Amino acid sequence: MLERLRNAGVSAWAVSRPSLLAITISLTISFVIVVAVSEQPVVAFRTFLGGAFENVYSFGSMLSIATILILSGLAATVGFRAGAFNAGGEGQIYVGALMAVVVAQAAPLPPPLAITAALMAGMVAGAIWILVPALMRVYLGIAEIVTTLMASYIAPLLTIYLLMNGGLRNPNAGVPETVRLVPELRLPRILSPSSANWGLFIALALVVAYWIVLERTRLGMRMKLVGQQPSFAETMGIDNKRVLLVSFFASGALAGLAGAIVSVGMDHRFIQSFSPGYGFLGITVALIGRLSPLGVILAALLYGALVVGAGKMQTASDVPFALLFVLQGVLVFLMTGNLAAVGRRLFGGR
Amino acid sequence: MTGSGLPNSADGSPIVTMRGIVQRFGSFIALHGVDLDIHRGEVHAVLGENGAGKSTLMNCLFGINRPQAGWICIDGKEVAIESPRQGLSMGIGMVHQHFKLVPTLTVADNVFLGHELSNGLGLVNRREQERRVAELSARYGLAIDPAAIVSELSVGAQQRVEILRALSKRVKVLVLDEPTAVLTPQEGEMLFSVLRGLVADGLAVVLISHRLAEVLRFADRISVMRSGRMVGSVKPDESSERQLAELIIGRELASNKWRGGRATGEPMLEVSHLTVSGYQGVLAVKNVSFAVRPGEIVGIAGVAGNGQTELVEAVTGLRRTVSGTIAIAGAPVGKSDPHRIRRSGVAHIPEDRLGRGVSLWSSVVDNLVVGQIDDRRFGTVLLDRKAMNEFAERLVGKFDIRLSSLSTHAGRLSGGNMQKLVVARELDPEPPMIICCEPSRGLDIGAAEFVYSQLQEHRDRGAAILLVSTELPEVLRLSDRILVMHDGRIAGEFDGAGRPSPREVGRVMLGMDALHA
Ligand SMILES: Nc1ncnc2c1ncn2[C@@H]1O[C@H](COP(=O)(O)OP(=O)(O)OP(=O)(O)O)[C@@H](O)[C@H]1O
Ligand SMILES: [Mg+2]
């Protein structure tokens, strides 16, 4: 439904209004909660909102989280656009992350090429992880929202199995994880010592690429048509199945790349259950960003800032990190509700 | 009596008075200060070209649009109608040009959508709703099963649901936007007898239509709009179709006569022993064979629902066949593959305009270009937006598509202009085969004539044309050969040059004469 709105010639303001409204309401609710539970509400709330901007380190942390969210948000967006609901970004991130480490370590290539190969391997792994749900949806009509989600529960278990039994585990580490990549095989850092890295530029470049594909290529036009009105696309001789498959794979590959960048750019290794739900957050980011390229970037930055802020707030005041989950819940609730309402408005009246 | 200077409705003065209504959409002005009076006990027809602003004006009355200037009085009191809900509660009921029913819900659910009847617990009282719908349907003579699911109903029945929905509150004015466009003549007759009853009860009916004959027969008053202005008002008994036509399009209508074509060469489309199943697996097309050769228009006449839709879907690859073969330009098309069929040069003007004909949420430009999107003139790797815009501009000019801007999405076009867009896109590449269904549905008389002459031109350049229409006059007017479909079979065939009478063909359409095919 949202993919219809996006292209409906509705003004930027009309498109972003529901998001802004949802953000305002959820922040207000969080503030009320802070006031209710905290001894020092002003400090707590200020840290929550502004913590990410206190110093270079926290700003960099925000950017590094935002990098992953941009990619996983883009993954969800690409799917939504053609009418594919990839609910399994989380799983694709896991397989992408492990595959990237394996390839980086094993590839007999000079470091820049090895890094490239690692990132590509992550994308391939993500795309493979969505293969079965995609084929099931396209050829059998089985709801992908269920199958991608199911596949995403398998991925963390499979990766941990491979980690433990595939000789990948670092014997000296307490938690199950791989050995660290040697410095040459890591994506260069920015804003050291934070974990922000060149992955950010990759993510931004991909957002631009996505915009170009969507607005300036035949594939993008077909994706939109298939997403908006499959019956029309079919009548116009567009191969709905092929277009849908392409966006499934693009979606899986982007999520896999997000995982690869966690490995090669942030953690420099694969760690068991490393993801705080990047894949699921990607869906939230896509919805708040209203499937627009710029919107996805802004939503990812906002969420990155709140994650960092929530961490700081927990240490600086008596409000726990969990405030973020409340906010996120309200946000998702409002965004999905709003979608229905806006959709009804647009469908209802001319 | 209010005694004020405002009009009141007690003595033949209007129920609804609209004055100086101005409606803008961005910088585009759809209504330039329009006046309209609606009187009780009358059928008031509003006529005008496609895009003249008829639907927009009625949307102002119903509360869908909020006009920027002007005022509306109901029963002598000035009112501000801000939503359809409010419109309904002030006694305005509307049946839209494009139905707004929820296909998965029942008739009763649809009728009460938005103002559900609830029981003591605040839950929807289905039984009461169904009882009320049955009651309404009996009162107004609109036969319907309240518990039926809307998607399973015929178009005519769906329209009855729309009308019941409009009448579910006590309305004083019932607005019907092109109600007969999708009805069979029999359903049309039924509708008008229902309307007569309503009017006799004191209701006012506003009727928007492009069918001048029915307007002259049933309307008590006629107002004509052009380019967002009221340009005239006539009495039906003092007017003729010809005069009305001129008033509507602002010039004399060059009415063209039937003109035969010359079929040449091998068939472009050859259908043999085709059997297709339709809704719930019931056979809809039964052992049908025919061919269309370059340079001829083959018309398929028939009452809606006799298998035409399924036949066309099968031929265009949109529906699987049960048995039989379809060959295009001599090459058999195997399994349903709309992509391949389109690439082999088959253009399709579909019957389902909103679902298949236009991409409602894409721009007019994209809608026009998509038909030839693979053409290199629109760019090699990246799309050349400038070339696309120029292309769209040319087609918009040629087919006189009225719109506020090229970037508006097609869903915002008026009904007739949407149809022009579809025809423009499909005819422009000069395809060797054209399959057109209900080509003039929703078009004003001028636009319909233009489309007819276009189809003839394409036939003359050598296109093979399959015309499928439930409008018998249209089929008679254009076809070189006429096939009549009844109950999934070809029940009769006529030579267009023999000018068969509507009566003759009509009997076969109704299955009264089974001519040998
Ligand atoms: N929401 C909208 N945004 C922009 N333009 C609009 C909108 N609604 C209508 N228009 C434009 O206003 C004009 C009048 O449209 P309207 O639907 O009233 O025509 P109409 O007289 O009903 O024509 P038709 O006989 O084809 O149904 C058209 O040019 C249409 O494109
Ligand atoms: Mg209209």
Segment B135-186, tens digit of pLDDT: 888 888 788 889 888 888 877 788 889 888 888 888 899 999 998 888 878 8
What is the distance between the alpha carbons of residues A18 and A5, in angstroms, rounded to a whole number? Answer: 12
* CA-proximal residue: ligand 1, atom 25 (nearest): B50
- Most A CBs within 10 A among B97, B151, B361, hence the mutation to make, goes to B361
Query: Which residue reads 């001829």 in tokens?
Result: B296
Determine the pLDDT at residue B277: 92
Contact B182, B95 (CB under 8 A): no
CATH domain B254-345+431-517 topology = Rossmann fold (3.40.50)
Determine the pLDDT at residue A339: 52
**pLDDT beyond 90 at A345:** no
Mean pLDDT of B6-19: 69
Of A13 and B92, the structure prediction assigns the larger pLDDT to B92
Segment A108-121, tens digit of pLDDT: 999 999 999 999 99
Cα B256 off chain centre by? 23
Segment B304-338, tens digit of pLDDT: 889 999 999 999 999 999 999 999 999 998 777 89
Q: In what order do the strands lie in the sheet with B69-74?
A: B28-38, B16-25, B69-74, B77-79
Segment B224-281, tens digit of pLDDT: 999 999 998 999 998 888 889 999 988 877 767 888 888 889 999 999 999 999 877 8
B362 contacts A234? CB cut-off 8 A: no
A348 contacts B412? CB cut-off 8 A: no
Segment A273-326, tens digit of pLDDT: 999 999 999 999 999 999 999 999 999 999 999 999 999 999 999 999 999 989
**Which of the four pLDDT bands, split at 50, 70 and 90, describes residue B514?**
low
What is the distance between the alpha carbons of residues A86 and A133, in angstroms, rounded to a whole number? Answer: 9
Question: Are β-strands B173-177 and B204-208 bridged in parallel, bridged antiparallel, or unpaired?
Answer: parallel
* CA-proximal residue: ligand 1, atom 22 (nearest): B55
Determine the pLDDT at residue A337: 65
Q: How far is the CA of B98 from the centre of ligand 2 (A)?
A: 9
* CA-proximal residue: ligand 1, atom 12 (nearest): B30
Chain B within 8 Å of A221 (Cβ-Cβ)?
A: yes
**pLDDT beyond 90 at A348:** no
SS3 B495: strand
Distance (Å) from the alpha carbon of B466 to chain A's nearest alpha carbon: 17
Mutate to test the pocket of ligand 1, among B249, B408, B414 (most ligand atoms within 8 A of CB): B414
B224 forms beta bridges with B47, B232
Chain A within 8 Å of B318 (Cβ-Cβ)?
A: yes
Chain B within 8 Å of A236 (Cβ-Cβ)?
A: yes
Determine the pLDDT at residue A349: 34
Cα B461 off chain centre by? 29
Q: Which residues of A touch B403 (CB under 8 A)?
A: none
Mean pLDDT of chain B: 90
Q: What is the DSSP annotation of A27-74?
A: HHHHHHHHHHH-SSHHHHHHHHHHGGGSSHHHHHHHHHHHHHHHHHHH
Q: Phi/psi of residue A247, each to 5°?
A: -75, -30
Determine the pLDDT at residue B142: 81
Cα A53 off chain centre by? 22
Q: Phi/psi of residue B278, each to 5°?
A: -110, -140
Give chain A's largest Cα–Cα span. 66
**pLDDT beyond 90 at A44:** yes
Question: Percentage of chain B surpassing pLDDT 70?
Answer: 96
Q: Which residues of A touch B408 (CB under 8 A)?
A: 9
Cα B186 off chain centre by? 17
**pLDDT beyond 80 at A9:** no
Mean pLDDT of B19-47: 94
Determine the pLDDT at residue A1: 42
Give the A:B interface size as CB pairs under 8 Å: 82
Q: At what angle do helices A278-288 and A12-37 cross, to 10 degrees?
A: 130
Residue A277, sorted as left (phi over 0), alpha (psi -120 to 50) or beta, turns out to be left
Of B182 and B435, the structure prediction assigns the larger pLDDT to B435
Segment A214-226, tens digit of pLDDT: 999 999 999 999 9
Residue range(s) occupied by CATH 3.40.50.300 in chain B = 42-63+82-249, 254-345+431-517
For B161, other C-beta atoms within 10 Å of its C-beta total 25
What is the distance between the alpha carbons of residues A184 and A110, in angstroms, rounded to a whole number? Answer: 9
Q: Who lines ligand 1 at CB under 6 A?
A: A 350; B 25, 28, 30, 48, 50-56, 97, 402-404, 408, 412-417, 442
Segment B376-433, tens digit of pLDDT: 999 999 999 999 999 999 999 999 999 999 999 999 999 999 999 999 999 999 999 9
Chain B within 8 Å of A235 (Cβ-Cβ)?
A: yes
Segment B440-471, tens digit of pLDDT: 999 999 999 999 999 999 999 999 999 999 99
Determine the pLDDT at residue A343: 46
**Which of the four pLDDT bands, split at 50, 70 and 90, describes residue A154?**
very high
A236 contacts B362? CB cut-off 8 A: no
Question: Are β-strands B221-226 and B229-234 bridged in parallel, bridged antiparallel, or unpaired?
Answer: antiparallel
| Contacts (Cβ under 8 Å, ≥6 apart) of A135 | A245
**Which of the four pLDDT bands, split at 50, 70 and 90, describes residue B8?**
very low
Q: How far is the CA of B32 from the centre of ligand 1 (A)?
A: 13
Chain A within 8 Å of B366 (Cβ-Cβ)?
A: yes
Chain A within 8 Å of B335 (Cβ-Cβ)?
A: no
CB neighbour burial string for B223-246, b if at least 16 within 10 angstroms, e if fewer: bbbbbbbbebebebeebeeeebbe
Mean pLDDT of chain A: 90
**pLDDT beyond 90 at A71:** yes
Domain B42-63+82-249: CATH superfamily, name plus number: P-loop containing nucleotide triphosphate hydrolases (3.40.50.300)
Nearest CA in chain A to B345: A237
Mean pLDDT of B54-75: 94
Contact B514, B491 (CB under 8 A): yes
Determine the pLDDT at residue B496: 86
A9 contacts B407? CB cut-off 8 A: yes
Determine the pLDDT at residue A10: 53
Determine the pLDDT at residue B5: 39
What is the distance between the alpha carbons of residues A307 and A236, in angstroms, rounded to a whole number? Answer: 46
What is the distance between the alpha carbons of residues A284 and B98, in angstroms, rounded to a whole number? Answer: 34
If contacts are CB pairs under 8 Å, which of residues 2-21 in chain A contact chain B? Answer: 4-5, 7-9
Determine the pLDDT at residue A6: 45
| Distances from the Cα of A97 to the Cα of A120, A160, A175, A189, A259, angstroms | 11, 12, 16, 18, 4
What is the distance between the alpha carbons of residues B442 and B401, in angstroms, rounded to a whole number? Answer: 13
- Most B CBs within 10 A among A7, A215, A216, A232, hence the mutation to make, goes to A232
Give chain B's largest Cα–Cα span. 78
Q: Which residues of B touch A8 (CB under 8 A)?
A: 361, 409, 411
Mean pLDDT of B96-117: 85
Of A149 and B117, the structure prediction assigns the larger pLDDT to A149
* CA-proximal residue: ligand 1, atom 16 (nearest): B53
- Work out which ligand 1 atom sits closest to the CA atom of B26: 4
What is the distance between the alpha carbons of residues A296 and B95, in angstroms, rounded to a whole number? Answer: 40
Query: Which residue reads 């409705």 in tokens?
Result: B9
**pLDDT beyond 70 at B515:** no
Chain A within 8 Å of B66 (Cβ-Cβ)?
A: no
Peptide bond into A193 cis (omega under 30): yes
